[in-house]
Structure 1
Amino acid sequence: MKVLFGNQRDRAKMIDPALLKPIADELHATLIESNYMDSARSNAAAHLATAKSLGYDKVAPIDILDAEKEIAIPVHNGYHLRNFITGSHLADYDTLVSIVRFKGHNLQRYIGATKNLSIWLGTARGACQVHSAGVVTDYYHPSSPKGTSESMADAVSAALDYKKGRWVFINIINALKPVDGCRGTADRPDLGIVASTDPIAADRAALDIVYGLTSDPELRKEWEREHSVDVLDYAERKGLGSKAYRLQKID
């Protein structure tokens, strides 16, 4: 199960480990994640200690994908990237479940399956690739918002191609206080869980549910512009999925 452990500072924004336990038990899962640029997750030992301090070790075994080395997986017909850097342990898994706490009003870029398969699946160097639209791998160098969105789509395509037909995507849309300053936002209630084998449909459905909390079409467009929803357009153009979907309620 590809998750984000986060750190103590952002603990309130992360998935409650208790929500992961039932599905992890059912799947006999391992929780997988890559190192990142902050000190709490900059190396495997620190990252594992952080995950344990947050209670994720009580859910399932934990594997830091780049604990040993990195691999560069190919990007076909990329907007900017020719390859995407992730951890070598990704090769060890045949079936993968992306599971995230969906966020639409907390960071500039909404958080869903596309981020979990790009910036968060990449190692620190892979994240730098995406942020910089392939310009650098050794330090954070932001590209234009369009360049970053296109590069996220490139990384998602690499992940999907590398484990073709072996991904499932789950977005948990539970109560979260908006902190982005967008006008018209309010505390979000528990809204449910979206699951799909299509990452673009899963994210589009979650976005529609969250941004559908307003009946003002102009305000909704403003929210979508603010949170870089355009990554779904670039991903759809690459054939990674469809923004069209049909919701089927499961009780």
Structure 2
Amino acid sequence: MKKITRRDFLKVAGTAVVGAAAYNMQGLQQVFADTEDVTRGSRQVSGGSEPRSKVYFSSHIDGEHLVQLYKLINENITGKVAIKVHTGEQHGPNILPREMVRTLQQQIPNSVLVETNTLYSGDRDTTAKHRETLLVNGWDFCPVDILDEDGTVMLPVHGGKHFKEVSMGKNIVNYDSMVVLTHFKGHAMGGFGGSMKNIAIGCADGKIGKAQVHGVSDTNMSWDKWPAKEQLMENMAESAKATVDHFGKRIVYINVMRRMSVDCDCAGLGAAEPTIPDIGILASTDILAVDQAAVDLVYAKPQQDNHDLVERIESRHGLRQLSYMRELKMGNDKYELISID
């Protein structure tokens, strides 16, 4: 099989027809217009008397507040713990600060960082290159388990319409719990990358699972035949559901909203410079609520600040990530935003 390069892989995004997906504004007007307002207390989003998930927030992006937020959601995190992070291509300028991640990891007993190899040819498509990149990027303060280093395992997708099972890195089954620690940002194909994308693509193994999620049986097929938009979002949600269901109540989600380029950390040094200000950190036991809250906070920013990221989300039909997670009953899009500041 011909090697697909990172540059070629990102070209797929250019095949997406630019067309704004209608954003469901229900409850968005209740989100404060800026982060300073969010810090004034809790806020119920999407009116009515329906149950709401709790999403905790801090405008301070540092290790201390990251740990504080984690301790509000970690009741069911026990045993051997996988911390799923995106470790990024070499020297990527927007990767989560390693010292901040280290501060959290040291507070989680029996934990390691976990990742998988990439589908495209780059700094992380083989385990050997991936391990070199981990050292270059400073991920050397604790063990890093490359989940597909020793093979793959199929996890079932309950209630999916595209998949019955998805191929994951084999070592995922060695863990009792998972902390999904995500750098929330844009994404060339998905529109945005939140907690769902982190495990949807990030737990799928580098060759079989990632090809499944991207909807290609042959990476040599022409770019205009690579699925995108709604189908890609649905594929991602079903892949993520396999991991969510596998861990049950023993999985939690943290979105760090800093240096939110329109590009993923897989773009490395080629990532566009962020144009939206940093917002803060969100934490929840509900994957849909935490991603919905992050998107809401982006949309609540003034147009001059959020234009680029909103355009990236809508041109890729990224909001389908949220609506399909609702359809799959993966969580609750109605939430209470609770500031700890």
Between the aligned partners of 2:241 and 2:259, the Cα distance in structure 1 is 30
Match of 1:231 in 2: 321
SS at match of 2:254: strand
2:102 is aligned with what amino acid? Answer: K
- Of the structure 1 ranges 107-116 and 199-208, higher mean CA displacement relative to structure 2 is found in 107-116
Structure 2, unmatched stretches of 5+, are 1-82, 265-272
Match of 2:234 in 1: 150
Between the aligned partners of 1:16 and 1:150, the Cα distance in structure 2 is 30
Provide the TM-score with structure 1 as the length reference.
0.87
Task: Write the mapping of 1:1-251 to structure 2, written as runs, cut at 5 A.
Answer: 1-8=83-90, 11-28=92-109, 29-37=111-119, 38-58=121-141, 60-104=142-186, 107-109=188-190, 110-124=192-206, 125-132=208-215, 136=217, 139=219, 142-178=226-262, 187-214=275-302, 224-227=313-316, 228-251=318-341
SS at match of 2:282: strand
Provide the TM-score with structure 2 as the length reference.
0.65
CA contact (8 A) 1:211 1:223 kept: no
1:80 is aligned with what amino acid? Answer: H
- The change in CA–CA distance for 1:161 and 1:179 in structure 2 (over 3 A counts) is closer
Between the aligned partners of 1:197 and 1:57, the Cα distance in structure 2 is 28
2:250 is aligned with what amino acid? Answer: R
1:190 is aligned with what amino acid? Answer: D
CA contact (8 A) 2:185 2:261 kept: no
Between the aligned partners of 2:112 and 2:203, the Cα distance in structure 1 is 15
State the structure with bigger RCO (CA 8 A, min sep 6), 1 or 2. Answer: 2
Between the aligned partners of 1:126 and 1:55, the Cα distance in structure 2 is 27
More strand by share: 2
- The change in CA–CA distance for 1:128 and 1:178 in structure 2 (over 3 A counts) is closer
Shift >3 Å, 4+ stretches = 175-180, 219-224
Between the aligned partners of 1:74 and 1:6, the Cα distance in structure 2 is 28
- The change in CA–CA distance for 1:26 and 1:215 in structure 2 (over 3 A counts) is same
Identity of aligned residues (%): 30
- The change in CA–CA distance for 1:144 and 1:55 in structure 2 (over 3 A counts) is closer
2:297 is aligned with what amino acid? Answer: I
Structure 1, unmatched stretches of 5+, are none
Between the aligned partners of 1:90 and 1:67, the Cα distance in structure 2 is 11
1:45 is aligned with what amino acid? Answer: A
Number of equivalences? 239
- The change in CA–CA distance for 1:186 and 1:118 in structure 2 (over 3 A counts) is closer
